[in-house]
Amino acid sequence: MAGKQNTVRKEREKGITAPVPEPAGGAQKLDRLIHERLRLGILSALSVNESLSFGELKKLLDTTDGNLSVHARKLEEAGYLSCAKSFE
């Protein structure tokens, strides 16, 4: 049976990192882009899996298609992961 398959993969860093400046008072600010509940869940799931299909990620995070799609797109636009669409 042929079906549409979306795969979400984490981007591999090339060993280049930029220092994160500390705000006044010494405490680091949370990056709201990745510390939203669902986005953090996506990145956490991908930290232990090379890639996950859209369906696997949706089931794992117990969310809707639209919600997962929007959050995955935000992370992709920021360069945290890449999404590949394919058909099986």
Distance CA 16, CA 62 (A): 34
- Range scoring the smallest mean pLDDT among 18-22, 28-32, 55-59: 18-22
71 C-beta neighbours (distance < 10 Å), count = 19
The residue ranking higher by pLDDT, 38 or 30, is 38
pLDDT at 86: 83
- The tokens of 38 are what? 């669902």
Show the CA angle centred on residue 46, arms to residues 64 and 8, nearest 5°.
Answer: 60
SS3 22: coil
Q: Where are the alpha helices (DSSP H) in 1-88?
A: 37-47, 54-61, 65-77
Higher-confidence position of 68 and 6: 68
DSSP secondary structure letter of residue 88: -
